[in-house]
Amino acid sequence: MMSMMYQAYQNHMDLTAPWRTGAASALRYLNLVPQGVSDRLFGRLAAALELISRSSLTYDRPAYGIDRVLVGNRELDVTEKVAFATPFGSLLHFKKENGPEQPRLLLVAPMSGHFATLLRGTVKTLLQDHDVYITDWHNPRDIPLQAGRFGLEDYTDHLITFLDQIGPRAHMVAICQPSVSALAAAAVMSEDNHPARPATLTLMAGPIDTRIQPTRVNEFAKSKPLRWFERNLINYVPVQCKGAFRKVYPGFVQLTAFVSMNLERHIKQHIDLANHLAKGEREKAEIIKNFYDEYFAVMDLPAEFYIETVRDVFQEHLLPQGRLMHRGRPVNPASIRRMGLMTVEGEKDDICSIGQTLAAQDLCTGVRAYRKVHHMQAGVGHYGVFSGKRWNNEIYPLLRDFVHVNS
């Protein structure tokens, strides 16, 4: 029965869609009422209608919305171009018009329930000094069954293929969860003397060795047998979708888990949103709305990828124990040579604690000491490692200099 939960959820959302559409239509007409006419009454009504119209998730990727970027003292136009694509992901290039030659960089986005647009701010910062590509993962609910499976090894294969498409001497920056696959890809490419192996590898808040100071997330992953995750979290994509009957970890289930971790905060945010809307405080309301537009844009995870990640990364710790395999061969981080390695952690990270990413430095024994950099950023949590003021002002300058020195 649990495997039909996604279908039941989708049926419910389809049945209630007219209510949300109706609320949105009523809100448009209500906004035509002249200001000053029972502002308090109409303000409260408008706030209620807006909250009703927003009471759903979206499974479509939001726009990156990066049209221009400041490079030096010039503002350049930016266009998005799909450089290469598979059914499961696109290599998206943020091409700057008439820009200077800059180090090519692959930003590896996590596949963790949200779209790669969650790294919009990270991309915009990197674009100042780099020629940026990103792994733009597709939503499995839109991928037909005949496209095949997508597991942890497939993720690593995609990174190798994407780097090959970008060409020699590119740089790879992995955010959070894909740090394991990024390190595996770099090791395999180094061992094969692949011409497109990255010049540098940067791992940011990634679970290289989750035995070190386990977080609540790590402990939960080990608290249940693998069969429990398969039975309770894996569902079939609803029949209404292109990817019907594909087995996935539904995005709405994962979002529910994230929200429950900070439920009081999310409730307060929506109460604040209602109050701002009722009072006509549009700027304050837009800040909250923009955050939740992105937060409630969810994507599913392929079942194989999710289960293999739980097993290999969080339960069996295969990489730090030297037991991780890729296509039948051992992944050997010691084979990485002639490559810069940077690791970044956040002092207050409650998802990937201090030491878990640093572990990569000990695994990569073939990297010369002068090519290794580690930075622990004081005062930031998980998301602060790659977004916000500390990222822009303190972490990014270190990453930029590291990349340029090794270019």
For 176-223, the pLDDT digits (tens) are: 999 999 999 999 999 999 999 999 999 999 999 999 999 988 998 999
Which among 278, 299, 320 is the end of a domain? Answer: 299
| Domain total in the chain | 2
236 found inside a domain: no
Q: Are 202 and 373 in contact (CB under 8 A)?
A: no
Indicate whether 160 and 86 sit together in one domain: yes
pLDDT of 37 > 50? The answer is: no
Indicate whether 187 and 274 sit together in one domain: no
Q: CA 174, CA 135: separation in Å to the nearest integer? A: 10
Indicate whether 151 and 170 sit together in one domain: yes
What CATH number has the domain bearing residue 188?
A: 3.40.50.1820
User: Residue 266 sits in which domain range?
Assistant: 2-56+251-299
Indicate whether 181 and 289 sit together in one domain: no
Q: What is the mean pLDDT of residues 144-151?
A: 97
231 found inside a domain: no
Model confidence, pTM: 0.86
Which among 299, 316, 338 is the end of a domain? Answer: 299
Indicate whether 172 and 273 sit together in one domain: no
The DSSP call for residue 176 is S
Strand partners, 249: 301
Indicate whether 180 and 316 sit together in one domain: yes
232 found inside a domain: no
Indicate whether 184 and 318 sit together in one domain: yes
Share of the chain above pLDDT 90, in %: 68
257 found inside a domain: yes
Where are any strands of DSSP class E within 112-228?
A: 131-137, 171-175, 200-204
Indicate whether 120 and 169 sit together in one domain: yes
Indicate whether 361 and 310 sit together in one domain: yes
Indicate whether 274 and 307 sit together in one domain: no
339-392 pLDDT, tens digit per residue, is 999 999 999 999 999 999 999 999 999 999 999 999 999 999 999 999 999 999
Indicate whether 202 and 125 sit together in one domain: yes
Q: Are 119 and 109 in contact (CB under 8 A)?
A: yes
195 found inside a domain: yes
pLDDT of 121 > 50? The answer is: yes
Select the more confidently predicted residue: 265 or 188.
188
Indicate whether 74 and 180 sit together in one domain: yes
